[in-house]
């Protein structure tokens, strides 16, 4: 039995490790305790890597991981995964998105309460200094305060709900959700970021990306109330750290609760010198409950992806199958097969691939285009081309992709057409799906057909003269090739025959067909 090598790069709960150890077709390698330079040597054998936020899946890592097919981020945030680098190499990146949500929500509430009561400082005074001085620790209540929540996803909306149980007023800013997601929960929704800046306490729960990096800096802090409290249990750098430091020092910001830093580990960070901050070392996900759930899911997902059977929560696949209506899937398959057929029928350098569609399927042109790319490019690229890297692969070779949404006029409820331009010319193929999954090719280069996209096909373009079918039958019969089906479509002054044959057809036989007097061109494709 061939084994899949799964390398665990960071600490995960033993329940996940046990799943890997006890799976027969997995060669499990534990590399969480070695340094990141030594990891580069270990990772070269990995089919799949499991990482947390302590391992950067960067250029160095990816260059070393020459066999890597998938990487599983055992957690939510994937800002430390070079997604483009993964895609270019055909590596599927996955995360485990909701298993640590509650842990992060509760840590956020802990920081919030801690900031209100200066809990760690009061604790240290009594425990370390053995001083009983109650007058030093007058805090504030959450009750009646206004909380601004930036990002109303899995964590943000749960923080809002818990804040409401403390009888806080809550307002959220998240341009990517319908306002009702907030208002249905009794949370005010705003599109005006200044409404957040006007709050007593602000907490952030967005991913870290170009748009959210430094989303709060000097300018935003200047608009805030004196004595505002800021919480960040999402990602370091969402609040500009220099601005945070300066305004904590001046007292403009009364307190900050920080779990995450721009560069981690952050054991020498200037923010740690301040005495109006509560800090934790990226512990948002560190509850036993969440680590157990994450590790189990990460291990299961790693095994499935190593086997190539499933890619749960894939982040760089062109389509999330769980989120598309069932009618789309056969069109996607059909589009890939049609592009594969067309590219085989004209084996020359591809310049561009256009996918057009009409009907409801035209809402999915981006995905159809990727799958057409895989179909067409795999003729020359073989297994090197996959759904993740097809467009990068094409880009390197100067092949362009585009899509066209057509108005509905062919009479089919849905129709997809792939047009491939090569250095020799332009060819097109169209298809539709009947009765949910009956895939059919309905046109090749303007010749109408009704062909199942399956099997070995000879495409013969010939002058429309009598006797061609007989001559073709004779050539193939002499070579011992059985004709399974013969479809002929007549055009203005020539015809196109699609001949389905049992067995494969070599160049010699194709040449004999090409030498027939009526033959204009002959090509061959296998689907």
Beta strands in 92-145 (DSSP E): 92-95
Identity of the residue, 96 or 519, whose beta carbon is nearer to ligand NAD in the bound complex:
96
Q: Which one of 69, 117, 235, 337 is in contact with ligand NAD (CB under 6 A)? A: 235
Q: Which residues of 448-473 are buried (b: 16+ CB within 10 A; e: fewer)?
A: ebebebeebbbbbbbeeeeebeeebe
Binding mask 174-203 for ligand NAD (x = CB under 6 A): xxxx--------------------------
Q: Is there binding between residue 153 and ligand NAD (CB under 6 A)?
A: yes
Q: Is there binding between residue 173 and ligand NAD (CB under 6 A)?
A: yes
Q: Which residue is nearest to ligand NAD (CB)?
A: 153
Catalytic residue among 264, 304, 333, 363: 264
10 Å CB burial of residue 352 (0-12, 13-18, 19+) is middle
Neighbours of 254 (CB within 10 A): 20
Q: How far is the CB of 432 from ligand NAD (least distance, A)?
A: 36
Number of residues counted as binding ligand NAD (CB under 6 A)? 31
Q: Which one of 5, 101, 336, 430 is in contact with ligand NAD (CB under 6 A)? A: 101
> Does the annotation count 4 as an active-site position?
no
Task: Compute the distance between CA of residue 233 and CA of residue 317 in angstroms, rounded to an integer.
Answer: 28
Q: Is there binding between residue 152 and ligand NAD (CB under 6 A)?
A: yes
Q: How far is the CB of 285 from ligand 2HG (least distance, A)?
A: 4
Q: How far is the CB of 313 from ligand 2HG (least distance, A)?
A: 12
Q: Which one of 42, 72, 155, 254 is in contact with ligand NAD (CB under 6 A)? A: 155
Residues 55-84 that bind ligand 2HG (CB under 6 A): 75-77
Identity of the residue, 27 or 54, whose beta carbon is nearer to ligand NAD in the bound complex:
54
- 8 A C-beta contact, residue 125 and residue 133: yes
Q: Is there binding between residue 26 and ligand 2HG (CB under 6 A)?
A: no
Beta strands in 31-179 (DSSP E): 48-51, 70-73, 92-95, 146-150, 169-173
- State the chain's maximal CA–CA distance in angstroms: 109
Residue whose tokens read 């350098």: 349
Binding partner at 280 among ligand NAD, ligand 2HG, none, C-beta below 5 to 8 Å by kind = none
The Cα-based distances of 430 to 138, 190, 397 in angstroms read 74, 47, 25
Q: Is there binding between residue 217 and ligand NAD (CB under 6 A)?
A: no
> Does the annotation count 89 as an active-site position?
no
Q: Which one of 50, 142, 197, 233 is in contact with ligand NAD (CB under 6 A)? A: 233
Number of residues counted as binding ligand 2HG (CB under 6 A)? 8
Q: Is there binding between residue 156 and ligand 2HG (CB under 6 A)?
A: no
Identity of the residue, 203 or 356, whose beta carbon is nearer to ligand NAD in the bound complex:
203
Residue whose tokens read 């960070």: 269
Identity of the residue, 294 or 302, whose beta carbon is nearer to ligand NAD in the bound complex:
294
The Cα-based distances of 49 to 85, 261, 321, 386 in angstroms read 15, 24, 23, 19
Q: Which one of 80, 206, 369, 389 is in contact with ligand NAD (CB under 6 A)? A: 206
Q: Which one of 70, 285, 361, 372 is in contact with ligand NAD (CB under 6 A)? A: 285
Coil vs helix vs strand at 227 = coil
**Strand duo 350-358 + 415-422: pairing:** antiparallel
Q: How far is the CB of 303 from ligand NAD (least distance, A)?
A: 23
The Cα-based distances of 316 to 17, 57, 84, 294, 388 in angstroms read 25, 14, 9, 20, 6
Q: Which residue is nearest to ligand 2HG (CB)?
A: 75
DSSP 26-48: EEEEE-TTS-HHHHHHHGGG-SE
Q: How far is the CB of 144 from ligand NAD (least distance, A)?
A: 25
Q: Is there binding between residue 53 and ligand 2HG (CB under 6 A)?
A: yes
**Radius of gyration of the chain, Cα coordinates, nearest whole angstrom:** 30
Q: How many CA atoms lie within 13 A of 201 on its CB side?
A: 28
Identity of the residue, 191 or 492, whose beta carbon is nearer to ligand NAD in the bound complex:
191
Identity of the residue, 146 or 208, whose beta carbon is nearer to ligand NAD in the bound complex:
208
Binding partner at 259 among ligand NAD, ligand 2HG, none, C-beta below 5 to 8 Å by kind = ligand NAD
Q: Which one of 135, 211, 383, 436 is in contact with ligand NAD (CB under 6 A)? A: 211
Residues 262-321 that bind ligand 2HG (CB under 6 A): 284-285
Q: Is there binding between residue 212 and ligand 2HG (CB under 6 A)?
A: no
Coil vs helix vs strand at 467 = coil
Task: Compute the distance between CA of residue 308 and CA of residue 302 in angstroms, rounded to an integer.
Answer: 10
Long-range contacts of 382-391 (CB under 8 A, 24+ apart): 384/90, 385/90, 386/90, 387/317, 387/318, 387/319, 388/86, 388/87, 388/90, 388/91, 388/92, 388/316, 388/317, 388/318, 389/87, 389/88, 389/89, 389/90
Binding partner at 206 among ligand NAD, ligand 2HG, none, C-beta below 5 to 8 Å by kind = ligand NAD
Q: Which stretch binds ligand NAD (CB under 6 A): 116-124, 146-154, 346-354, 443-451?
A: 146-154
Task: Compute the distance between CA of residue 369 and CA of residue 319 in angstroms, rounded to an integer.
Answer: 11
Identity of the residue, 283 or 518, whose beta carbon is nearer to ligand 2HG in the bound complex:
283
For residue 225, what is the DSSP state?
P
Catalytic residue among 13, 52, 235, 461: 235
Task: Compute the distance between CA of residue 340 and CA of residue 524 in angstroms, rounded to an integer.
Answer: 11
> Does the annotation count 282 as an active-site position?
yes
Q: Which one of 27, 154, 179, 421 is in contact with ligand NAD (CB under 6 A)? A: 154
The Cα-based distances of 351 to 176, 326, 428 in angstroms read 37, 32, 14
Which residues are part of the catalytic machinery?
235, 264, 282
Site residues for ligand NAD per CB under 6 A: 76-77, 100-101, 104, 150-156, 173-177, 205-208, 211-212, 233-235, 259-260, 282, 284-285
């Amino acid at each position: 039995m061939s084994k899949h090598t799964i390398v665990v790069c960071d600490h995960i709960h033993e329940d996940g490790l046990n799943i890997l150890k006890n799976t027969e077709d997995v060669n499990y390698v534990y590399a969480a305790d070695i340094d990141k330079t030594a990891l580069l040597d270990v990772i070269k054998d990995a089919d799949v890597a499991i990482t947390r936020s302590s391992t950067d899946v960067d250029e160095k890592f990816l260059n070393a991981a020459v066999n890597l097919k998938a990487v599983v981020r055992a957690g939510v945030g994937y800002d430390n995964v070079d997604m483009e680098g993964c895609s270019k190499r055909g590596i599927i990146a996955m995360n485990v998105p909701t298993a640590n949500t509650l842990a992060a929500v509760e840590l956020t509430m802990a920081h919030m309460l801690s900031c209100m009561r200066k809990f760690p400082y009061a604790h240290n005074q009594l425990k370390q200094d053995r001083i009983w001085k109650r007058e030093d620790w007058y805090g504030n209540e959450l009750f009646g305060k206004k909380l601004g929540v930036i990002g109303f996803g899995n964590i943000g909306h749960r923080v809002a709900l818990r804040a409401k149980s403390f009888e806080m007023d809550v307002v959220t800013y998240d341009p990517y959700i319908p306002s009702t997601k907030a208002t249905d929960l009794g949370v005010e929704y705003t599109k005006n970021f200044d409404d957040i800046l006007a709050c007593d306490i602000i907490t952030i729960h967005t991913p870290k990306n170009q748009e959210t990096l430094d989303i709060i800096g000097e300018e935003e802090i200047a608009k805030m109330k004196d004595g505002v409290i800021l919480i960040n249990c999402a990602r370091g750098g969402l609040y500009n750290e220099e601005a945070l430091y300066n305004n904590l020092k001046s007292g403009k910001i009364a307190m900050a609760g920080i779990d995450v830093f721009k560069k981690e580990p952050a054991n020498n960070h200037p923010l740690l010198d301040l005495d109006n901050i509560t800090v934790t070392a990226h512990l948002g996900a560190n509850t036993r409950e969440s680590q157990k759930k994450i590790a189990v899911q990460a291990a299961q997902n790693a095994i499935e992806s190593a086997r190539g059977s499933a890619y749960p929560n894939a982040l760089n696949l062109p389509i999330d199958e769980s989120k598309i209506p069932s009618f789309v899937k056969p069109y996607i398959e059909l589009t890939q097969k049609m592009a594969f057929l067309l590219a085989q029928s004209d084996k020359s350098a591809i310049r561009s691939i256009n996918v057009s569609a009409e009907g409801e399927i035209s809402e999915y042109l981006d995905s159809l285009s990727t799958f057409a790319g895989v179909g067409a490019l795999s003729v020359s690229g073989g297994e090197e081309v996959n759904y993740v890297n097809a467009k990068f692969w094409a880009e390197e070779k100067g092949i362009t992709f585009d899509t066209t949404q057509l108005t509905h006029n062919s009479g089919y409820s849905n129709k997809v057409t792939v047009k491939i331009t090569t250095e020799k010319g332009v060819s097109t193929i169209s298809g539709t799906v009947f009765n949910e999954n009956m895939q059919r090719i309905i046109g090749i280069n303007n010749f109408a057909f009704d062909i199942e996209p399956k099997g070995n096909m000879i495409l013969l373009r010939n002058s429309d003269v009598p006797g061609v079918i007989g001559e073709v039958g004779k050539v193939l019969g002499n070579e011992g090739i059985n004709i399974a089906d013969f479809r002929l479509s007549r055009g203005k002054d020539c015809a196109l025959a699609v001949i389905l044959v049992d067995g494969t057809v070599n160049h010699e036989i194709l040449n004999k067909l090409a030498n027939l007097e009526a033959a204009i061109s002959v090509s061959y494709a296998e689907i």
